[in-house]
Structures are given as C-alpha cells and as structure tokens.
Amino acid sequence: MKLSFLGAAREVTGSCFLVETEQARFLVDCGMIQGGREAPARNRKPFAFDPQTIDFVLLTHAHIDHSGLLPKLTREGYRGPIFATAASADLLQVMLPDSAHIQETEARRDGRRVRAKRGQHTDPVPLYTLQDAQACLRQVWPVPYDEELVPRAGVRCRFRDAGHILGSAIIEVWVDESAGTTKLVFSGDLGHPGRPILRDPARIADADILIMESTYGDRAHKDHAASQAELIDIVEGTLQRQRGNVIIPAFAVGRTQEIIYHLHRLTREGRLRGLRIFVDSPMATEATRITRQHLELFDEAARNLAAWHARGRDVPYLHFTESVEESMALNKVRSGAIIISASGMCDAGRIRHHLRHNLPRRESSVLIAGFQAKGTLGRRLVDGAKRVRLFGEDIPVRAGIHTVGGLSAHADQPALLAWAAGFQRPPRQTCIVHGETAAADALAARLGALPGWNVTVPEAGMTLHWPPQTKESHNDR
C-alpha cells in the first residue's frame, strides 16, 4: 500500500491524500488551497494522478479546503462515487455551487483586467463551472455515522463523528492485502471537546497509520469561561460604550451557526441584552437552515436552546439578509449592529464591504473567531496590519481587532493530545498534517516524546509505503 500526501502537508488548506492498494486507488478529501497570491495558480495545476483511475473518494467534511476541488476532479474525468455523511452531502449542495459561482465570477474579472491592461480579448476559463459542480453533486453518496461501508472489495470504511462542523467525520479505513490488513485513521478536522452544539470527537481504539490534523498544534485556547467573558466584553464595549458595530468574519458553515448560538445563549442567561444580529451571507443562511434539519447531531444543550428560540420569547433580533440591496444597507448602519458575514478569512464575499466601511472607525470592532491562513486579509489583520487594500483603496485599520481563540472549531494542542491518548496503543506510524510548519512540528514533538509513538511531519508530495520497505524507499518524493 502507498499513501501520498498531496495537500495540507505543512499547511492548513488543500487537504488531499491518495491511497493506492492492491485492490483500489482512492482519495481522502480533495480540497482547495486557500490564502496567498499563489493559491489560484496552485489550484489550477494538474492533479498528481489521473482522475479517471480513482475508484472512489472519501470526504471528511464539507469545508472548501477539504471539498473544493471535487468539481475540478469531475471536470477532469472522475466518474466514481464521493462518500460523505448525510449532513455533509446536504451542505455540499450549497457550498459547491457557491464555490463554482465564485470561480466563474473571478474568471470574468480576470478577463476584464487583461483587456484593461493589454487591450486583448481573452476568453476566461474558470477553475470549474456551475455545471461541473452540479455534475459532481450527482456523484455524492450519503452514508450514516458508525456503520461499515465497503466501497470496493478489500476496503472497508467507517465514518465517526469528528465534532468539528455539522457532518464532519473521522474516517477509519481497513485495507486487506496479501501482506495482511492495515488500518488507517484520518482524523479530518477535530472539534474542541466541550464546545456547544456538536458532540465531542469520537474516540478511536487503534490504528496502524494515523493521519492527524494539527491546525492549533502549537497552542492552547482560552478556557470556555474566559472566552465567553471576552466575547461579552467585546460586544458590550463596542455596542454600548463605543457606539460602533461588531463585524465578525465567519465561515458560513459551522462558525456562523456557533456564534449565533453563543449570542442567543448569553441573551437567555441575561448576560447580553438588546442585540441586533445580521447574518449577511446567502450561503450561511442556507447552511443554518440545513443545520436546523439535523438536530439529531446536536448535543442536549443545543437542542434545548433551539427549543427556547422556537418559542420566540425574549430572543435577540436576528435577521438573515436576502438581497444585495439589504447587504449594502448594512454599510449605512453606524452603531448597534453585530454583522456576521463570509468569508471567514476575509478574502472574498460580503465581509470585505463591511470591513471597508468599519475598519477606519475607532468605534467599531472586528471579532476574529476562526483560523486565518497565511496570505489572507484576516491573517494580516490578526498580525497587526495598520493599513490594508480593499477594492483598490488603501484602508486604515483603526477598529479594534480581537481574536477569540476559544471560539475556534478546531481542537487546541491539549485537546489533540487528549484525543490521541484515547488510542489503546500507539499507532505504528503517525503522520501530522493540516497545520503550518510550527504547529505541525510542535504537535509532532509532543506526541513523539510519548512512549511508543513514531511520528513524522510529511512534506508535500511525499509517499509513505506500507509495510515499510527499505529506508531509501520509505519516504519517496
């Protein structure tokens, strides 16, 4: 068997792993690279394999950095099934067409830029089209949690709850070959235990090979109580004392719904009052609707809060914008609004308009509640940029920039170590992925110091042979 690390190796986005066995050739995730000027060109590069030779795809969850190149895979000849949990399958119905719309829009914009600069007419070719996304969605097969799936002879799979976003999964894979059976475990993105709404990540008993995420592998989040206190202070300070707006860049799937949950729960407890919340993201609106359809995946506290909200008593004002005109009207609001908008890393979508109108204002605040990849506008704000470029304008950053790490959907280092401790014995080989180099190396060092743990941090393009062969062939490029 061979396992190739084609994405999310020493970086957070672009998850893609190729498994080649005696019986099958399949992918785990096929995600888009996000952040930085090189991302579009990297996403356009040919796949490192022939899509027509892939037998099936296993998808850990619907976030675009894990699913966003699936339409490109279909466009280039893949015709097999894409297995995902039922909730992920529902979310893909919204996310992949939205991503295709972005690709088509950016291609047209690039064509106009070329004509303006060079006077040449170009026929823009998007990374993929809405038609490609729709064709891809017809290949998605929903599967239940915790039930065995046999996508091909010699390969068995099981999707376990990862607690990251709705429908997210840890995937167990058993591969039968002449040398015996090998069990691989792909952690996907692991949620932080004790978070509201979703259940904690499932514990896995054993693995021969563990492929484990490390987004926050080098840090600890603030505890829940401290994060709640920080959120209250930011909201009250901005809305009541400073008379400004709170702008929250949020991923449409997962982060938006959890922020709404926190604001509603704090209102129910009497710790916040008089909130006016605007969700300005068509995809977030759809994702919230889908989330409400999967209450069976919620924890008890989230189900209770949903029932309270449904009764409609003393709930905060919550409005989902429906039109571009409504979105533009929010930019005229000078105070008292909490505006939640995508994209979560501030690199596209309506959030950029809200930042353009609020970053120059000392009265306003920007609340960062999710991971910001290198090269993104969100990362520059977190790193303390004094000025940023938006829509060709030089925008001063006077608003308060607040990072509340405790609201992250990703497990921190202590939580990752605690999840790994759930194995009854150390995996024979652990590969740390989905983390920038510092985070991946830090988690690898902590795990590698434990008795019996054999840990590596693969480079992009590296291939792991199993069972291990000679030292020279163990990690081919």
Q: Within this chain, do residues 230 and 347 fall inside the same structural domain, yes or no? A: yes
How many domains, in total, are found in the chain?
2
Q: Note the pTM of the prediction, 2 decimals.
A: 0.89
Q: Do residues 349 and 343 make contact, with C-beta atoms less than 8 angstroms apart?
A: yes
Q: How far apart are CA 136 and CA 69, in angstroms?
A: 10
Q: According to the model, what pLDDT value does residue 115 have?
A: 67
Amino acid 307: pLDDT: 67
One domain, residues 87 and 13: yes
Domain of 265, CATH number, reads 3.40.50.10890
Cβ contact 26:155 at 8 Å = yes
CA 359 to the chain's CA centroid: 25
Q: What's the pLDDT score for residue 72?
A: 98
CA distance 297 to 141: 19
Instruction: Assign 3-class secondary structure to 219-239.
Output: CCCCCHHHHHHHHHHHHHHHH
d(CA 419, CA 413) in angstroms, rounded, equals 10
HSE value, Cβ hemisphere, 13 Å, CA-based, for 375: 12
Alpha-carbon radius of gyration of the chain: 22
Distances (CA, A) of 120 to 58, 117, 123, 415: 43, 8, 10, 54
User: Where a domain ends, among 346, 377, 407?
Assistant: 407
Distance CA 331, CA 277 (A): 14
Cis peptide before 196 (omega within 30 of 0): no
400 closest CA partner among 364, 424, 442? 364
- The domain of 166 spans 2-219+409-476
pLDDT at 77: 97
- CB neighbour burial string for 209-248, b if at least 16 within 10 angstroms, e if fewer: bbbbbbbbbbeebeeeeebbebbeebbeebbeebebbbbb
Do 393 and 387 touch, CB atoms closer than 8 A?
no
84: tokens are 């995902």
Rounded CA separation 220/381 (Å):
21
In degrees to the nearest 10, what's the CA dihedral of 240, 245, 248, 252?
A: 110
Does residue 310 sit in the same domain as residue 350?
yes
Q: Which of 355, 379, 407 is the last residue of a domain?
A: 407
Cα gap 135→142, rounded to integer Å: 16
Do residue 210 and residue 278 come from a single domain?
Answer: no
pLDDT at 195: 77
Q: How far apart are CA 19 and CA 363, in angstroms?
A: 52
Same domain, 47 and 140: yes
Boundary of a domain, candidates 380, 407, 434:
407
Per-residue pLDDT, 314: 62
Q: How many residues does the chain have?
A: 477
The span from the CA of 149 to the CA of 451, in Å, is 33
Do 417 and 400 fall within a single domain?
A: no
Give the pLDDT confidence score for residue 112 in this predicted structure: 75
**377 and 447 housed in the same domain:** no
Res 105: pLDDT: 85
Which pLDDT score is estimated for 118? 66
Spatial separation of the C-alpha atoms in residues 70 and 359, rounded to whole Å: 35
Do 235 and 156 share a structural domain? no
Give me the CATH number covering residue 455: 3.60.15.10
Residues 340 and 202 in one domain: no
Complete DSSP assignment for 102-154: HHHHHHHHHHHHHHHHH--------SS-HHHHHHHHTTEEEE-TT-EEEEETT
By the 8 A CB rule, do 69 and 31 touch? yes
The pLDDT score that the predictor gives to residue 349 is 84
Residue 364: cis peptide before it, omega within 30 degrees of 0 = no
- 413 and 384 inside one domain: no
What is the pLDDT, as a whole number, of residue 423?
A: 98
Q: Which amino acid is at 277?
A: I
Same-domain status, 446 and 297: no
Q: Do 452 and 365 belong together in one domain?
A: no
End-to-end CA distance of the chain: give it in Å, rounded: 15
Q: Within 13 Å and on the Cβ side, how many CA atoms surround 104?
A: 12
Q: Under a CB-based contact definition with an 8 Å cutoff, are residues 443 and 416 in contact? A: yes
Candidates 241, 234, 244, 246; CA nearest to 278 is 246
3-class DSSP assignment, residue 317: strand
| Nearest Cα residue to 400 out of 369, 359, 441 | 359
DSSP codes, 32-65 = PP-SSTTHHHHHHSPPSS-GGG--EEE-S---HH
Q: Which residues contact 257 (CB under 8 A, 6 or more apart)?
A: 166, 197, 284, 287, 288, 291
Per-residue pLDDT of the chain in tens (477 residues, 90 and over written 9): 999 999 999 999 999 999 999 999 999 999 999 987 899 999 999 999 999 999 999 999 999 999 999 999 999 999 999 999 999 999 999 999 999 998 998 888 777 776 667 666 666 789 999 999 999 999 999 999 999 999 999 999 999 999 998 999 999 999 999 999 999 999 999 998 887 778 899 999 999 999 999 999 999 988 878 888 999 999 999 998 899 999 999 887 877 888 888 898 898 889 999 999 999 988 888 888 888 788 777 777 667 666 665 665 567 888 999 889 999 999 999 999 999 998 888 888 899 999 999 999 999 999 998 888 888 899 999 999 999 999 889 999 999 999 987 777 789 999 999 999 999 999 999 999 999 999 999 999 999 999 999 999 999 999 999 998 755 444 443
Could you tell me how far CA 370 lies from the centroid of its own chain?
Answer: 9
CA distance 15 to 6: 7
Q: What residues contact residue 303 under an 8 Å CB cut-off, 6+ apart?
A: 295
220 touches 438 (CB < 8 A): no
pLDDT at res. 431 = 98
